[in-house]
């Protein structure tokens, strides 16, 4: 069967979720930070999230704009009118998921750039001149990032002709996957950029990120269970559609091995291996920098494969509907 939504759409959904997740995590961590050690370490995590967020949002949006047939036709035919026809999404305001999502995504990109700017100066710290503005922006960053992360799931779920997508749970799955990939991206940045600093300080920040990611992975697994259970117990098209990721389905290996095993269970169990001793017995948190990077890469790969499976499964189990 021909896939009308291919790799550009999958990359867009992944990068938009990654950027939105990083923005949400940055804002929530900044607001959580207190005094003493917490202020410095939480600020560092929030700074990585703020600096990470704009790039995937911009690149992902560029991918979806490029995927629009009129944009590509404009490039091929040197037709300026077709090249910028995507702007029509912003000229009409209605309650369609595509229109609302376009506005929310556009606002999120602009806001993430402004938010990242407050962290750019080398002297930026938890108590600098920008701290009050930064905290106000953090209160906006959290709901705005959540809105973008949920929107990517609502956009697919709003298609009743697609039984695999037409589930209220899909939006929550995309939300927690976005938050998990956001944490994973920040974890990779932290592990790479602070390899020579005080190991105790680096370990404390890594502990916060690893605990958060393990919790988010657990919630993702729960939502996947609910997603499959409700679809499987529904008579008709949803039960037929969900079969593509169950034993005998064409996407079963991609989903259970790529997404669930290597994208969630393996990194989640490794994180628990290192965080539980500190959480339960207050033992020092010690983990190799290479392990942190590997965890982050696996979670990011799992987040990408999750969107790949969902986008492809929705198209091979029903007619195209917009």
Mean pLDDT throughout 306-317?
Answer: 92
Query: What one-character DSSP code corresponds to residue 196?
Result: S
User: According to the model, what pLDDT value does residue 74 have?
Assistant: 47
Give a yes or no: residue 63 inside a domain: yes
Give a yes or no: residue 165 inside a domain: yes
Q: Which tens digits make up the pLDDT trace of 117-153?
A: 999 988 888 788 888 899 999 999 999 999 999 988 8
Q: What percent of the chain has pLDDT over 70?
A: 82
Give a yes or no: residue 26 inside a domain: yes
User: According to the model, what pLDDT value does residue 126 have?
Assistant: 79
Q: Which tens digits make up the pLDDT trace of 52-105?
A: 999 999 999 888 777 665 555 445 555 555 555 656 665 666 666 677 777 889
Give a yes or no: residue 1 inside a domain: no
**CB-count exposure of residue 218 (10 Å: 0-12, 13-18, 19+):** middle
Give a yes or no: residue 322 inside a domain: no
Give a yes or no: residue 243 inside a domain: yes
Q: Which tens digits make up the pLDDT trace of 168-222?
A: 899 999 999 999 999 999 999 988 886 555 566 677 888 889 999 999 999 999 9
Q: For residue 11, what are its two tokens? A: 């990359």
Q: Which range marks the domain in which residue 29 is found?
A: 7-316
192 vs 100: CA distance, rounded Å: 37
CATH number at residue 275: 1.20.1630.10
Give a yes or no: residue 173 inside a domain: yes
Per-residue burial over 136-171, b if 16 or more Cβ lie within 10 Å, else e, is ebbebbbebbbbbbbbbbbbbbbbeebbbbbbebbb
Q: How much is the pTM?
A: 0.89
Distances (CA, A) of 257 to 192, 240, 246, 268: 27, 21, 12, 14
Give a yes or no: residue 321 inside a domain: no
Domains identified in the chain, total number: 1
> Read out DSSP for 73-112?
HHHHHT-HHHHTGGGHHHHS--S-HHHHHHHHHHHHHHHH
């Amino acid at each position: 069967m021909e896939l009308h939504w291919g790799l550009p759409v999958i990359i867009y959904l992944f990068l938009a979720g990654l950027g939105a997740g990083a923005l949400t995590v940055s804002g929530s961590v900044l607001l959580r930070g207190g005094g003493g050690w917490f202020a410095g370490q939480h600020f560092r995590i929030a700074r990585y999230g703020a600096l990470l967020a704009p790039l995937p949002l911009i690149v992902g949006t560029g991918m979806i704009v490029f995927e629009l047939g009129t944009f590509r036709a404009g490039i091929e035919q040197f037709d300026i009118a077709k090249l910028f026809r995507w702007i029509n999404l912003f000229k009409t305001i209605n309650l369609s998921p595509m229109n609302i999502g376009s506005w929310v995504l556009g606002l999120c990109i602009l806001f993430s750039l402004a938010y990242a700017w407050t962290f750019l100066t080398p002297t930026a710290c938890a108590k600098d001149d920008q701290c009050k503005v930064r905290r106000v922006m953090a209160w906006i960053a959290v709901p705005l990032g959540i809105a973008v992360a949920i929107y990517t799931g609502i956009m697919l779920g709003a298609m009743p002709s697609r039984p695999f997508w037409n589930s209220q749970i899909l939006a929550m799955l995309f939300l927690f996957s976005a938050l998990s990939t956001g944490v994973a991206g920040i974890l990779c940045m932290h592990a790479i950029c602070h390899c020579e600093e005080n190991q105790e300080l680096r370990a404390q920040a890594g502990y916060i990120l690893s605990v958060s990611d393990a919790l988010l992975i657990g919630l993702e697994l729960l939502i996947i269970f609910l997603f499959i259970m409700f679809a499987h117990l529904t008579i008709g098209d949803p039960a037929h559609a969900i079969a593509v990721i169950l034993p005998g389905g064409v996407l079963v290996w991609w989903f259970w091995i790529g997404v669930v095993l290597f994208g969630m269970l393996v990194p989640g169990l490794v994180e628990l291996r290192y965080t539980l001793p500190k959480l339960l017995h207050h033992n020092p948190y010690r983990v190799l920098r290479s392990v942190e990077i590997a965890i982050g890469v696996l979670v990011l790969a799992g987040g990408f494969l999750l969107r790949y499976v969902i986008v492809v499964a929705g198209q091979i189990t029903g007619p195209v509907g917009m």
